[in-house]
Amino acid sequence: MTDIIELKRIATQVRRDIIRMVGGASSGHPGGSLGCADVMTALYFGHMDLDPEHFDRKGRNEDMFFLSNGHISPVWYSVLARRGYFPVKELGTFRRLGSRLQGHPSVHDKLPGIRQASGSLGQGLSVGIGAAIAKKMDGCDKLVYTLHGDGELQEGQIWEAVMFAGAKHVDNLIAIVDVNNLQIDGTTDKVCSLGDLEKKFEAFMWKTVTMDGNDMQSVVDGLRKAKAETGQSRPVVILMKTHMGFGVDFMQDDNKWHGTAPNEEQVAKALSQLEETLGDY
């Protein structure tokens, strides 16, 4: 297990990558990417049981991860590259013609680390459930992780999947919800309130775990706690409180940065707040 200080150093570099990728492409989604940099770092650098050198879409004998809110692809691409799934320099091709790093994740060009396309919201939980069932059928004791935006929970398919996983005891699945209370048109409360998510998931027969998604110690502890809750006939959800845009002061808690790219000046200002710990691509 990578220690907390090292995880924080990696997450800082991941945040730099996000800013540089989105800035370089003049498009993309920095807000949610920055908010999820800590959990993605913790998942890929220690928590999940992975085999980056021999990526296999089928994910046999390893943990599997599905990004349901595909628009935060920058954080995923950065973490995958930093973990060794593909060359770090490829991050510079993000959103460019012919790139394997599509605006939203794609399996079309077989980018190592990606098992399923996402972008149209609300689908990743169902896909994760399918992968989790396959693991059970095959007698594999590894886990399936999914990540969702909180706004994404407004999609009906999510609740079909939540109902199914609870009813069918899919207990080798950990869904993480990025609760930053923001979406494109405003706060989630204003757009269409999610209500009490903890109670909702519990009513659907899930085990809920909460954590502070922008405190690395809390993230590491929360992931461990969630993992300890698996295998007990209930799916597990982590309600992860985060700040959209975390790590860059002028982006934090402002939904304008959901899908807006920083200009050159803003990129420079943002990078000045994020130490280059692992070397830029």
Partner 1 sequence: MKEYQLLGKKDTRSGFGAGLLEAGRRNKNVVALCADLIGSVKMDSFYKEFPDRTIQCGIAEADMIGIAAGLALSGKVAFAGSFAAFSTGRVYDQIRQAVAYSDTNVKIAGSHAGVTLGEDGATHQILEDIGLMKMLPNMVVLNPCDYNQTKAATIAAAEYMGPVYIRFGRPSVPVFIPEDMPFEIGKALLLSEGKDVSLVATGHLVWEALEAARLLEKEGISAEVIDIHTIKPLDGEAILRSARKTGCVVGCEEHQFNGGLNESIAQLLVRNEPVPMEFIGVDDEFGQSGKPDELMVRYNLKAENIAAAAKKAISRKK
205 lines the binding site for partner 1 (CB under 8 A) = no
118 lines the binding site for partner 1 (CB under 8 A) = yes
Rounded to 10 degrees, the C-alpha dihedral 211/104/246/268 comes to 160
161 lines the binding site for partner 1 (CB under 8 A) = yes
* 265 close to 1: Cβ distance less than 8 angstroms: no
User: CB-wise, 127 or 267, nearer to partner 1?
Assistant: 127
- Choices 12-20, 115-123, 203-211, 258-266 (CB under 8 A): range interacting with partner 1: 115-123
Longest Cα–Cα distance of the chain, Å, equals: 53
Candidate residues 120, 187, 193, 233; the one interacting with partner 1 per rule CB under 8 A: 120
156 lines the binding site for partner 1 (CB under 8 A) = yes
129 lines the binding site for partner 1 (CB under 8 A) = yes
148 lines the binding site for partner 1 (CB under 8 A) = no
List strand residue ranges (DSSP E) for 104-185, in order.
Answer: 144-149, 173-179, 182-183
Burial class (CB in 10 A: 0-12, 13-18, 19+), 37: buried
266 lines the binding site for partner 1 (CB under 8 A) = no
Residue of 240, 186, 182 lying closest to 216 (CA atoms): 240
CA distance 185 to 198: 24
Candidate residues 3, 49, 109, 160; the one interacting with partner 1 per rule CB under 8 A: 160
Min CB(80)–partner 1 separation in Å: 17
* 28 close to 94: Cβ distance less than 8 angstroms: yes
- Choices 2-10, 86-94, 132-140, 273-281 (CB under 8 A): range interacting with partner 1: 132-140
